[in-house]
Structures are given as C-alpha cells and as structure tokens.
Amino acid sequence: MQTPPVTLAAGSDLRLRLLKEGDAVALQRAIDESRDHLVPFMPFATTDPSDLAFRRSWIDECREAFRAGQLFQYGIFRTDELIGGCSIHPIDDRTASIGFWVHVEHVGQGVASAVAAALTQAALEAGCERVRIRHDRANAASGSIAAGLGYERVGEEPHAIDAPGQTGTSVVWLLTRTV
C-alpha cells in the first residue's frame, strides 16, 4: 500500500495524527489513566515501561516505521486532547489490518467507530483491496464496530494469549473494496 496521510479527519470532532515527541507526556498520561481498561486486551498496557524516556523513543520508532511504510500509527485527538491511539498495519500488497484503543473517559461515544471508519477509508484510498479487523472473541465491542462498518465476519483462528482478558481465539473481519 502507499503511505496514507499523516493527518486524517474522523467524524466531525476527531483528528488522527502522526505522533510527535511533544505528545509523549499526554500519551503516557492517557495510557496510565486507562490502564485497567486496556490491560485485558492490549499487551502494551502491561509490558511497556511507564517512563517518558521510553514513550519518547517509542514515538521516534513509530515515526520511523511510518516513514518506512511498515506501520502507520496515529494519536486520536478530540480538539487538542489526546484520547487514544490507532494504526494501519500493512499485511501484504493487498491487505492492511487496523487497530485502536480509546481513553476510558471517552468510551461509549462512538469514538472507535469513527476512528475505524477513517482508518478503513484511508487504507482503501492508499491502495488496499481488503482491510482486516481482528480481535479476541471476548472483545465484543470490537466485533460491534466491525459489524457496524459493514465488515464481513470471515471466521475464527487461534492466537497466542498475551493479555489477561483474551480467550486465545480471534475473530477475523474483512472489508473488501467494491470499486
């Protein structure tokens, strides 16, 4: 796939933007405040160190991966507040996978649905023919998001458990470009 834009609009009040070093404090605070909410399904919430030096170098790595076309990570911003993170991950020439997390104080308001819609559109516009959402079977919210956006549930597959809320079975959803 081609490189998507560094900034994407998501719905009327959300913006997705390539992270920069100056976002490290806000990003770390959002993760710390949401940790209990993230731990069940997001391995990084358990494994990543909480210090700012780590978060700055992680952002540097994200920027390098974005430049190299390996992984397109964005912060989710509402006005100027960082309220989550999301990504487009190229899988092969035709397929990309998307992922997202939302600050615990901003869930239940359609944020992830709007973000997933924007990431899906960006991946298709960057040349992907298929976009994938894959989530643990216990993560019902992610399944609702995929279904709501018109993804097709194509099956289940085993995965290694790396977070305590996981069952070890993933549900795979695909959205295929029609034009």
Q: How many residues bind ligand COA (CB under 6 A)?
A: 23
Answer whether 149's CB lies under 8 Å from 166's CB: no
Q: Is 120 in the site for ligand COA (CB under 6 A)?
A: no
d(CA 174, CA 179): 16
CB of 67 to ligand COA, least distance (A): 25
d(CA 61, CA 57): 6
Answer whether 159's CB lies under 8 Å from 167's CB: no
Q: Is 107 in the site for ligand COA (CB under 6 A)?
A: yes
CB of 152 to ligand COA, least distance (A): 16
- Judged by CB under 6 A, the residue of 18, 19, 82, 102 near ligand COA is 102
- Judged by CB under 6 A, the residue of 7, 109, 167, 169 near ligand COA is 109
Stretch binding ligand COA (CB under 6 A), from 4-12, 14-22, 69-77, 93-101: 93-101
Radius of gyration of the chain (CA): 15
Q: Is 69 in the site for ligand COA (CB under 6 A)?
A: no
Q: Is 28 in the site for ligand COA (CB under 6 A)?
A: no
CB of 128 to ligand COA, least distance (A): 18
- Judged by CB under 6 A, the residue of 18, 30, 31, 41 near ligand COA is 41
d(CA 178, CA 26): 39
Q: 178: burial class by Cβ within 10 Å (0-12, 13-18, 19+)? A: exposed
- Judged by CB under 6 A, the residue of 38, 76, 83, 124 near ligand COA is 38
Produce one character per residue of 152-175: b if its CB has 16 or more CB atoms within 10 Å, e if not: eeeeeeeeeeebeebeeebbbbbb
Q: Is 37 in the site for ligand COA (CB under 6 A)?
A: yes
Q: Is 42 in the site for ligand COA (CB under 6 A)?
A: yes
Q: Which residue has the tokens 């643990």?
A: 136
Site residues (CB under 6 A) for ligand COA? 37-38, 41-42, 99-102, 107-113, 135, 139-142, 144-145, 148
